[in-house]
Amino acid sequence: MSTYQSALRHTIATYPDVAFTIVLGLIVFTIVKYARSPYRQLPPGPPGIPLIGNVFQLMTGNQWDTFTRWGKEYGDVISVSVVGQCLVILNSAEAAHELMNKRAANSSDRPRSIVAAEYLTGGLFFVFTPYNNLLRRFRKASHEGLNKTVTESYRPSQHTEAIIMAAGVLEAPERLTEHFKRNSASAVMSMIYDHPPLTSGTSEAVRNVGELMIRLTRSAMPGAHLVEIFPWLRYVPASLAKWKRDALYWFQHDTEMLEGLFLEVRKRVDDGDTRPSLAATLIKEGKNLGLSDRENAWAAGTIYTAGTETTAGVMNWFVLAMLAFPEHQRRAQEELDRVVGRTRLPAFSDIDQLPYIHALIRETMRWRPVDPLGMVHVTVADDWYEGMYIPKGTIYVPNVWKFNHDEATYGPDADDFNPARWIGKDGEFLPGPELAKEDGHFGYGYGRRVCVGKYVAQQALFINIATLLWAVTIDRVKDDNGQPKPVDIDGCINEGLVVGPMPYELLAVARFADAYTLLKAERDAV
């Protein structure tokens, strides 16, 4: 026995009261420390497994459905753990507004993504960029080219793309998704780079966007790379780490692609070209904000890739709604016949006279959001909300699906597709709920991360849907018994950046004799 152990035993034997007091004090200290720990006041949530937390519960089914179900048991603010990382699920628009809008200074960061954010995109894809000075300059420059007033200058090209899309749907309805992807990519390329219309949904530009988004979404998925769990692996040389070699290669490849598109615009601007484009605005504003050509190229590329996928996704859900609920298609077409007639195509000059078209757009985005869980935010400091502790580094997950289907906000038919909810008794287009502001839904993000391209997206959806419904009757394919085949309005495919509907068939026929003739004449004149 050591001298220390002998002395300790002697002390305990000689002064038992002192020893008891010390032990009791340690027990009391431990209990008090535990009782006062703010971690005991985390938001409630489902029990997890030691060390790994709630990982397995998050791997089954659609997470937005899981979170909505948990909300009925644990409330509007729920905490879960994923291998020690605290996630707070926000199941009410009120909580999201308070924590992500009002307290945006504390909740505008992003989770770290070593592969997707730091290596694949060099920290320049501003959807993933931490909330720092570079992001603020990115957003300020982008806002100058995408604000509500400036976006009107992009309407002529959006109108052209809508005509090409509608004609394509009549000619080959079986390639519907391809038409929508071509339309979105071409419209965004025109807006950003003043690029002429793309001729195909399988063109190189569309393919490049799709491949870039696949790489990013796959790399950002939890568990995709061990380096996200063990960050020290980023110091392993590229020669020994395939993930690093691949990421560095694709960053160089995508940078060359995006810089090539951007520098074409710079050359035209230097030659005196004054045609409007986002890239031209970035050239001007980027100089004032100290952004390099590479940073500007990636700022433009971020909007290019994100805008292409989301608009095409909304259009796919819209057509599914028209197949499932044809009465709303007929009502919109009656409005188009009354306002536009059948001797000309819809135009942006009709935008204030077509409230039901606006109602269709808003209801589609509310009913089936392409991003049901929004974009996550991260807190930069400890916070408290209604007596619940939210530690620094918490990931906020806004359950946009739940917000958009809340009966307290949208009524007892919140789960139904009902554009008429947005039409007043005198036929006017009604404002949205207070917290949803002018959008009427919660799909455009929060705080200092609100979608910078939402105004141009709204314009594109308006002219696309107005033109498509003016020219085309969308109907279900019949089965062998002559009955309309059912469509799946509840199933979905998670494509990474967006959630889309299950594949469906459709019939697309011209609504009247001259519809295709007028479309084709306008398309041929481009």
- pLDDT(169) > 60: yes
Residue 218 within a domain: yes
- pLDDT(5) > 60: no
- Domain, as residue range, for 449: 122-371+405-524
What pLDDT is stored for residue 2 in this prediction? 55
What pLDDT is stored for residue 32 in this prediction? 45
Residue 391 within a domain: no
Task: Report the distance separating Cα 237 and Cα 108, nearest Å.
Answer: 32
- pLDDT(23) > 80: no
Phi, psi of 395 (to 5 degrees): -95, 120
Q: Say which CATH number the domain at 352 has.
A: 1.10.630.10
What pLDDT is stored for residue 25 in this prediction? 54
The reply to whether 420 and 300 lie within a common domain is: yes
What pLDDT is stored for residue 409 in this prediction? 95
What pLDDT is stored for residue 34 in this prediction? 46
Residue 321 within a domain: yes
- pLDDT(30) > 50: no
- Are 481 and 409 in contact, with CB atoms under 8 Å apart? no
The reply to whether 250 and 344 lie within a common domain is: yes
Task: Report the distance separating Cα 427 and Cα 111, nearest Å.
Answer: 45
Q: For residue 31, what pLDDT band results from cuts at 50, 70 and 90?
A: very low
What pLDDT is stored for residue 158 in this prediction? 96
The reply to whether 25 and 128 lie within a common domain is: no
Residue 447 within a domain: yes
pLDDT tens, residue by residue, 280-333 = 999 988 888 899 999 999 999 999 888 888 999 999 999 999 999 999 999 999
Residue 388 within a domain: no
Task: Report the distance separating Cα 290 and Cα 53, nearest Å.
Answer: 44
How many degrees, rounded to 5, is the angle at CA 48 between CA 43 and CA 52? 115
Q: For residue 13, what pLDDT band results from cuts at 50, 70 and 90?
A: low
- Are 508 and 173 in contact, with CB atoms under 8 Å apart? yes
Q: For residue 15, what pLDDT band results from cuts at 50, 70 and 90?
A: low
The reply to whether 17 and 161 lie within a common domain is: no
Quote the mean pLDDT of the chain.
90
Residue 347 within a domain: yes
Residue 383 within a domain: no
Residue 492 known to bind ligand: no
Average pLDDT over residues 446-458: 93
- pLDDT(459) > 50: yes
The reply to whether 29 and 176 lie within a common domain is: no
- Are 141 and 291 in contact, with CB atoms under 8 Å apart? yes
What are the distances in angstroms from CA 378 to CA 38, 97, 111?
A: 19, 15, 6
Task: Report the distance separating Cα 390 and Cα 369, nearest Å.
Answer: 27
What pLDDT is stored for residue 9 in this prediction? 62
The reply to whether 160 and 279 lie within a common domain is: yes
Residue 387 within a domain: no
Task: Report the distance separating Cα 365 and Cα 311, nearest Å.
Answer: 10
- pLDDT(153) > 70: yes
Average pLDDT over residues 375-400: 96
- pLDDT(16) > 70: no
- pLDDT(123) > 70: yes
What pLDDT is stored for residue 70 in this prediction? 96
Task: Report the distance separating Cα 211 and Cα 433, nearest Å.
Answer: 37
The reply to whether 129 and 31 lie within a common domain is: no
The reply to whether 317 and 457 lie within a common domain is: yes
pLDDT tens, residue by residue, 201-215 = 667 777 887 788 888
- pLDDT(29) > 50: no
The reply to whether 21 and 162 lie within a common domain is: no
The reply to whether 9 and 128 lie within a common domain is: no
Phi, psi of 82 (to 5 degrees): -125, 100
- Are 391 and 86 in contact, with CB atoms under 8 Å apart? yes
pLDDT tens, residue by residue, 217-265 = 888 876 778 888 888 999 999 999 999 999 999 999 999 999 999 999 9
Structural domains of the chain, count: 2
The reply to whether 28 and 173 lie within a common domain is: no
- pLDDT(503) > 60: yes
The reply to whether 17 and 126 lie within a common domain is: no
* CB burial readout 431-460, b (16+ within 10 A) else e: ebbeebeebbbbbbbbbbbebbbbbbbbbb
